């Protein structure tokens, strides 16, 4: 017992002793909270040189830092520190497939207009038609001409609800005032709005303060096409700036695929202004507007519109030649035919009617925006727009007046949430007048056999002309951690054209490590059918009834029962920046669409469409004097289970800029589009072969005030076709090899 007690006491003493001596060692470096030990001395204070540690910043952060420094102080002051997912398009954790174009993407690549630069965006297919119409389609959706994405300029929707198209030329702005174009591939309805089914593009212009002084840009093509922009900016008092600009574009006549002249020469002139004033700290006012006038002619091909009733139907000229009983020729109101070496169906004679197509558009935009002390950012914007056009080739004159009011706000809540919400209302008022065009001014009978002399090609009839829309959205972005972000929201809408609807969306972003981000998204979006699809009766064919000696009109009514197209979209993406000079992105998507409408009469029946595809893009600067960008996209679409071929399944592009000297850049651009077919309900389908386009250019920038560019475009072949309005035009125009000089001077 005694030994045990001694051992126990000894063991305890050793433990206590060890504790007594070890405690100071364990405590070393840990300053007791709220106290300093007596007689303790602080380490010697000295300046420590910082050695560069490349791991301190991720490549994503380095890129962002360079971009921030590239902003001037005024722009930096406007930039929110914490943004809303879906708004901050250049944020690497953004769970969406985003591409940003800048003015250099237009000027260094020899593009005349901003819309042409969309050719360099993987997943987008941009084609040129007659009359310098540019068609821009995204992710194999909808056919050849109808845009099923939301197009905006400074927040103003520019989709023409009449035909479901965008007048890209008419909505263009001078390059000098362009800040960027944000392209979001994939539905973004919860933030952006209706019709953002395949995506969104948003043209953002610079503030008036950022375009002070004068600048002139001239672009001249070898065929005589000319573009001139003049921009003047000045100060209108303390904290107030203004800008005015003028554009003149003259189109030279193009050539059809057969070699005939396209008769599409014309002009476009536009005037614009902007006034910005800082009313008080973090309260800004903007007032802007523009007025544009475009004058071109457009063609309606008549060659296959008058038939003799055989099976299949025979054109009347051919019936006459074949000696079919009672056959007659075309009415005398028809224009004389043009010879064509186009391989047309046997015995078809070519007839065309050109009508003038004047187009006047004007808009005003006012916006008040601010930030409160509680970090609530808000904006209240109003738009008024008037659009007048006459489609002389089909005899439709229409005017649209539109008024919009839009309130948006966002606010960080705590350290992890960021809420965005908004309300909007729109009122549209149409005045539609359909007139007879000369070729159709001959006696006919309507569908029921009643004589009629005034059947127009398009007939809006008594269909509605006033439409209202109310909408609201909210979205919450939540940071689970520094690497996981979730954004969820919905848009609610009540509209005369689409009824009531909810468009929800959820997006998740995961920064796997310092150089890789994965994201995924689900969205539901819908598209409103155009007014033509819903309400226009199209009468552009007549059948000769020999037994009665009468013409019988063929009408194809619109479908007023068309419901909105609804798309469920599933997307995943991977974004990698292993080092600051190299970025790669992969996006994969699957869209499941019901009630999809494919553009063009006479058939406006809805279809189920499934579209699957992906885009791979890269951005690489192997050396400080060489930058490479590019991408490839692949997409397959099935309509009612049958694969469609009206969109190229593969698209690719590469852009290379080599700085030969400090003031000289050599630009090389390659664009590839796989083959496709322009389907024709009434006409033979037109195959558009696969084509590879090469553009080369030299750009000389001796200083910041002058830029001279010389470009050769489509150098690999003399010409190729790209697109046309199916069922209106017989053949597409040639997109020809061309040479272009551009000069930009700032004063």
Site for another protein in 419-438 (CB under 8 A): 419, 421, 423
CB of 62 to another protein, least distance (A): 6
CB 595, CB 606: distance < 8 Å: yes
Residues 296, 167: Cα–Cα separation, whole Å: 13
**From the centroid of its chain, how far is CA 139?**
11
Among 79, 548, 661, 745, binds another protein (CB under 8 A): 79
Q: Which is nearer to another protein, 582 or 698 (CB)?
A: 582
Beta-carbon neighbour count of residue 700 at 10 Å? 15
Site for another protein in 258-317 (CB under 8 A): 278, 281-282, 284
CB of 380 to another protein, least distance (A): 17
Residues 99, 356: Cα–Cα separation, whole Å: 37
CB of 744 to another protein, least distance (A): 25
CB of 181 to another protein, least distance (A): 24
Q: Which is nearer to another protein, 312 or 414 (CB)?
A: 414
Residue 66 interacting with another protein (CB under 8 A):
yes
Residue 371 interacting with another protein (CB under 8 A):
yes
Give the DSSP H or E segment for 120: none
**Vertex 529, ends 524 and 532: CA angle to 5°?**
165
Site for another protein in 212-251 (CB under 8 A): 238-239
CB of 411 to another protein, least distance (A): 9
x/- map, 21-50, another protein, by CB under 8 A: ----------------------x-xxxxxx
Q: Which is nearer to another protein, 25 or 50 (CB)?
A: 50
Among 104, 222, 375, 568, binds another protein (CB under 8 A): 375
Residues 509, 585: Cα–Cα separation, whole Å: 14
Residues touching another protein, count (CB under 8 A) = 61
Q: Residue 177 is encoded by which pair of tokens? A: 């005032």
CB of 497 to another protein, least distance (A): 12
Positive/negative CA dihedral, 256, 258, 261, 262: negative
Query: Which window, 20-28, 71-79, 292-300, 563-571, contacts another protein (CB under 8 A)?
Result: 71-79
CB of 499 to another protein, least distance (A): 10
CB of 511 to another protein, least distance (A): 9
Residues 228, 250: Cα–Cα separation, whole Å: 9
Residue 568 interacting with another protein (CB under 8 A):
no
Residue 80 interacting with another protein (CB under 8 A):
yes
CA atoms within 13 A on the CB side of 72: 7
Query: Which window, 23-31, 467-475, 571-579, 608-616, contacts another protein (CB under 8 A)?
Result: 467-475
x/- map, 347-366, another protein, by CB under 8 A: --------------------
Which residues, 6+ apart, have CB-to-CB distance to 549 below 8 Å?
326
Which residues, 6+ apart, have CB-to-CB distance to 675 below 8 Å?
645, 648, 687, 688, 689, 690
**Vertex 398, ends 553 and 268: CA angle to 5°?**
115
Query: Which window, 189-197, 469-477, 538-546, 715-723, contacts another protein (CB under 8 A)?
Result: 469-477
Q: Which is nearer to another protein, 45 or 642 (CB)?
A: 45
Q: Residue 49 is encoded by which pair of tokens? A: 């040189």
Residue 472 interacting with another protein (CB under 8 A):
yes
Q: Which of 327, 267, 263, 268 is closest to 300 using CA atoms?
A: 263
x/- map, 498-537, another protein, by CB under 8 A: --x-------------------------------------
**Vertex 24, ends 19 and 30: CA angle to 5°?**
125
Q: Residue 446 is encoded by which pair of tokens? A: 């309507």
Positive/negative CA dihedral, 32, 33, 39, 40: positive
The region, left, alpha or beta by phi > 0 then psi within -120 to 50, assigned to residue 560 is alpha
Residue 172 interacting with another protein (CB under 8 A):
no
CA distances from residue 290 to 241, 243, 361, 365, 425 in whole angstroms, order as listed:
17, 12, 8, 9, 22
Q: Which is nearer to another protein, 51 or 703 (CB)?
A: 51
Query: Which window, 292-300, 411-419, 686-694, 730-738, contacts another protein (CB under 8 A)?
Result: 411-419
CB of 77 to another protein, least distance (A): 4
Residue 624 interacting with another protein (CB under 8 A):
no
Among 11, 15, 78, 548, binds another protein (CB under 8 A): 78
Give the DSSP H or E segment for 532: helix 531-535
Among 492, 522, 582, 666, binds another protein (CB under 8 A): 492
Q: Which is nearer to another protein, 325 or 414 (CB)?
A: 414
Strand partners, 137: 125
CB of 67 to another protein, least distance (A): 9
Q: Residue 155 is encoded by which pair of tokens? A: 């927040």
3-state secondary structure (DSSP) of residue 264: coil
Query: Which window, 347-355, 412-420, 632-640, 696-704, contacts another protein (CB under 8 A)?
Result: 412-420
CB of 272 to another protein, least distance (A): 23
Q: Which is nearer to another protein, 46 or 311 (CB)?
A: 46
Quote the DSSP letter at residue 45.
P
Quote the DSSP letter at residue 281.
T
Residue 482 interacting with another protein (CB under 8 A):
yes
Q: What SS3 string covers 153-199?
A: ECCEECEECCCCEECCCCCCCCHHHEEEEEEEECCCCCCCCCCCCCE
Among 14, 76, 236, 636, binds another protein (CB under 8 A): 76
Query: Which window, 3-11, 68-76, 139-147, 223-231, contacts another protein (CB under 8 A)?
Result: 68-76
Give burial (CB, 10 Å; 0-12/13-18/19+) of 429: middle
Residue 474 interacting with another protein (CB under 8 A):
yes
Q: Which is nearer to another protein, 278 or 650 (CB)?
A: 278
Q: Residue 639 is encoded by which pair of tokens? A: 């309509």
Which residues, 6+ apart, have CB-to-CB distance to 102 below 8 Å?
179, 180
Which residues, 6+ apart, have CB-to-CB distance to 409 below 8 Å?
376, 377, 378, 379, 420, 421, 422
Spell out a b/e string for 304-316, using b for 16 or more CB atoms within 10 Å of the CB, else e.
bbbbbeeeebbbb
Q: Which of 226, 350, 223 is closest to 299 using CA atoms?
A: 350
CB 162, CB 429: distance < 8 Å: no
CB of 512 to another protein, least distance (A): 15
Which residues, 6+ apart, have CB-to-CB distance to 61 below 8 Å?
none
Among 37, 373, 643, 662, binds another protein (CB under 8 A): 373
Among 356, 431, 454, 468, binds another protein (CB under 8 A): 468
CB 131, CB 723: distance < 8 Å: no
Residue 484 interacting with another protein (CB under 8 A):
no
CB of 57 to another protein, least distance (A): 6
Query: Which window, 162-170, 371-379, 388-396, 632-640, contacts another protein (CB under 8 A)?
Result: 371-379
Q: Which residues bind another protein (CB under 8 A)?
A: 43, 45-50, 52-53, 56-57, 61-62, 64-66, 68-69, 71-74, 76-82, 238-239, 278, 281-282, 284, 371-373, 375, 377, 412-417, 419, 421, 423, 468, 470, 472, 474, 476, 478-479, 482, 492, 494, 496, 500
């Amino acid at each position: 017992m005694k030994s045990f007690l001694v051992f126990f006491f000894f063991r305890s003493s050793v433990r206590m002793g060890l504790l007594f001596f070890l405690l100071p060692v364990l405590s070393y470096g840990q300053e007791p909270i709220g106290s300093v030990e007596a007689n303790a001395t602080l380490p010697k204070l000295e300046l420590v040189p910082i050695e560069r540690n490349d791991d301190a910043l991720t490549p994503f952060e380095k890129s962002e830092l360079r971009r921030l420094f590239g902003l001037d102080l005024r722009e930096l002051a406007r930039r929110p520190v914490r943004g809303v997912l879906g708004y901050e398009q250049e944020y690497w954790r953004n769970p969406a497939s985003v591409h940003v174009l800048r003015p250099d993407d237009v000027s260094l690549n020899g593009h005349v207009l901003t819309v042409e630069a969309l050719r360099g965006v993987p997943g987008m297919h941009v084609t040129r038609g007659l009359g310098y119409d540019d068609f821009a389609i995204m992710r194999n959706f909808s056919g050849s001409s109808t845009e099923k994405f939301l197009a905006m300029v400074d927040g103003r929707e520019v989709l023409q609800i009449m035909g479901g198209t965008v007048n890209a030329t008419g909505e263009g702005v001078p390059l000098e005032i362009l800040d960027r174009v944000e392209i979001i591939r994939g539905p973004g309805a919860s933030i952006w709005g209706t019709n953002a089914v395949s995506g969104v593009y948003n043209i953002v212009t610079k503030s008036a303060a950022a375009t002070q002084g004068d600048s002139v840009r001239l672009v001249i093509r070898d065929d005589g096409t000319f573009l001139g922009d003049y921009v003047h900016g000045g100060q209108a008092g303390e904290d107030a700036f203004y800008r005015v600009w003028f554009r003149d574009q003259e189109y030279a006549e193009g050539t059809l695929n057969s070699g005939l002249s396209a008769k599409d020469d014309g002009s476009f002139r536009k005037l614009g202004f902007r006034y910005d004033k800082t009313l008080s700290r973090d309260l800004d006012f903007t007032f802007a507007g523009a007025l544009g006038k475009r004058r071109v002619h457009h063609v309606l091909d008549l060659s296959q519109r008058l038939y003799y009733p055989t099976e299949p139907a025979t054109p009347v000229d051919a019936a006459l030649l074949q000696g079919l009983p009672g056959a007659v020729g075309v009415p005398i109101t028809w224009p004389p035919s043009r010879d064509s070496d186009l391989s047309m169906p046997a015995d078809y004679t070519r007839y065309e009617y050109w009508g003038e197509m004047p187009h006047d558009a004007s808009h005003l935009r006012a916006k008040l925006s601010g930030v409160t002390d509680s970090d609530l950012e808000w904006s209240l914007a109003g738009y008024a727009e008037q659009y007048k056009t006459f489609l002389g080739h089909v005899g439709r004159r229409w005017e649209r007046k539109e008024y919009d009011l839009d309130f948006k706000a966002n606010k960080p809540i705590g350290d992890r949430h960021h809420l965005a919400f908004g309300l909007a209302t729109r009122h549209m008022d149409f005045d539609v007048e359909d007139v007879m065009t000369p070729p159709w001014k001959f006696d006919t009978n309507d569908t029921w056999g009643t004589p009629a002399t005034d059947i127009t090609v398009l007939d809006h009839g008594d269909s509605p002309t006033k439409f209202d829309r109310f909408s609201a959205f909210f979205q919450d972005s939540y940071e689970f951690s520094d690497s996981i972000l979730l954004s969820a929201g919905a848009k609610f809408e009540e509209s005369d054209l689409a009824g009531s609807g909810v468009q929800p969306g959820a997006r998740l972003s995961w920064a796997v490590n310092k150089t890789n981000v994965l994201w995924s998204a689900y969205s539901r979006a819908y598209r409103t059918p155009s007014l033509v699809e819903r309400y226009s009766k199209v009468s552009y064919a007549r059948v000769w009834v020999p037994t009665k000696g009468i013409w019988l009109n063929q009408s194809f009514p619109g479908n007023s029962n068309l419901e909105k197209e609804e798309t469920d979209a599933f997307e995943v993406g991977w974004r990698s920046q292993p080092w600051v000079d190299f970025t790669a992105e992969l996006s994969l998507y699957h869209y499941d669409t019901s009630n999809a409408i494919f553009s063009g009469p006479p058939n406006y029946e809805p279809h189920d469409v499934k579209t699957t595809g992906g885009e791979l893009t890269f951005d690489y600067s192997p050396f400080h004097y060489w930058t490479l960008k590019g991408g490839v996209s692949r997409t397959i679409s099935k309509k009612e289970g049958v694969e469609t071929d009206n969109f190229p399944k593969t698209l690719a592009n590469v852009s290379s800029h080599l700085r030969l000297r400090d003031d000289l850049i050599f630009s090389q651009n390659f664009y590839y589009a796989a083959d496709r077919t322009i389907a024709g309900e009434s006409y033979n389908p037109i195959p558009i072969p696969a084509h590879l386009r090469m553009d080369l250019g030299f750009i000389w920038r001796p200083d910041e005030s002058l830029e001279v560019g010389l470009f050769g475009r489509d150098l690999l072949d003399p010409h190729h076709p790209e697109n046309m309005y199916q069922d209106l035009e017989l053949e597409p125009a040639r997109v020809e090899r061309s040479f272009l000089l551009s000069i930009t001077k700032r004063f």
